[in-house]
Amino acid sequence: MKLSGITLFRIGGIDIVIDYSWFIIFFLVIYTMAESYFPQAHQDYSVQQYWIMGTAAAVLLFMSILLHELAHSFVAIKLGVRITSVRLLVFGGLSQASSEPQNGRDEFLIAVAGPATSMALGVFFLVVYSYFNIAGMVTPVASVAGWLAFANILLALFNIIPGFPLDGGRILRAFLWDRWNDMGKATRVVSQVGNGFALFLILFGILQILLAQSLLSGLWLVFIGLFMKQSALGSYQAVMLRRALSGVQIRQIMTEDVVKVDWLISIEDLIQKYVYKHQFTDFPVFNRDEFIGMVSLEEVKKIAKDLRIFKQVRDIMTPVELVPCLKPSDDATEALSRMVSGDIGRMPVVEDGRLLGIVSRHDIMNFFKIKSDLGTA
């Protein structure tokens, strides 16, 4: 399933995506800064100024988090790790990679780049704040800079907590990986540490609500803990999936006995004789022995029911030149990444214009399950 979000722009081949959940924290920061923090810290500004300051603080915080993630990404790319996108979420950012670092040293350099950038930004904003204070100029700019210094330093310190999915977890994994020479074992240990810290945050948040009567801060800790717990599990599963599929080519997974559809059959026949019978959502289309395209259930659904008997597959199919295809030598991890990012269920495997087979996300995940069951993942 394609992840929800808005692609803002592209930097160095990396898509910058804002997840819909991110807007929650963005507007919450603006509101909190404009209605609570700045009015309490500085009582001599107007309501309009507070809202401008709150908006500026939120935008600059967004840029700070983006720089944090880009630091990870650019170091990763320099070390040979392919980064597909940076996604900004409700609790921060996430760099999405299609491969893993080759060793613990590379992992350490990638992981430490984010907190180092946040700390550098914190120091920069602290210098700006100090300059205005020393000069005796208490201005809105100084107030925003002071808050951003605190926020970035806190972001750096929070991220070095040694548990997945935080940067500190990756730094710890780098040391354990280098010591044990076993990335899977290191990942498992660090995921358990991250899960333990997440449970601590959840319990501490509940105590905040029940004993300290602090509903907002308690709920915030609970939400962060739940997010960390889910992310720790997801990060571990993603790493183990990449590890299991490392070096696996599509030719080892694809289905060679392909169900083919003639381009001249009606859409009604396609539904009755192929979709219902085989229960696939995508089928390769042939003109005699020539592979000419793909037809999907999504395209079928666009045709009115009373017209399906009259229209043919060739009327709705996607021509082969527009179909995303794989080669038999393609890496399974890269193929899965393409399928997930493009929301594609099945992809044809083509070489020299000939259809050699079909591979689906289910095929790849089933292959991973088999390797896991056999203890070879």
CB 47 within 8 Å of CB 106: no
- 57 near 36, Cβ under 8 Å? no
What residue spans of the chain are helical by DSSP H? 22-32, 38-41, 47-78, 104-134, 140-159, 167-180, 183-210, 215-245, 267-270, 276-278, 297-301, 313-316, 332-341, 361-373
CA distance 295 to 87: 31
Catalytic residues: 69
Tell me the C-alpha distance between 103 and 175, whole Å.
Answer: 10
CA dihedral sign of residues 357, 360, 365, 366: negative
Q: Is the dihedral of CA 344, 345, 350, 353 positive or negative?
A: negative
116: buried, middle or exposed (CB in 10 Å: 19+, 13-18, 0-12)? middle
DSSP structural state of residue 354: E
Q: List, as one string, the DSSP characters of 141-154.
A: HHHHHHHHHHHHHH
Partners of 291 in beta bridges: 286
Candidates 20, 7, 25; CA nearest to 61 is 25
Q: Which of 68, 72, 41 is nearest to 54 (CA)?
A: 41
Burial 281-314 (b: 16+ CB within 10 A, else e): ebbbbbeeeebbbbbbeebbeeeeeeebeebebb
Nearest to 341 by CA among 58, 14, 12: 14
Given a contact cutoff of 8 angstroms between Cβ atoms, the answer to whether 93 and 70 are in contact is no
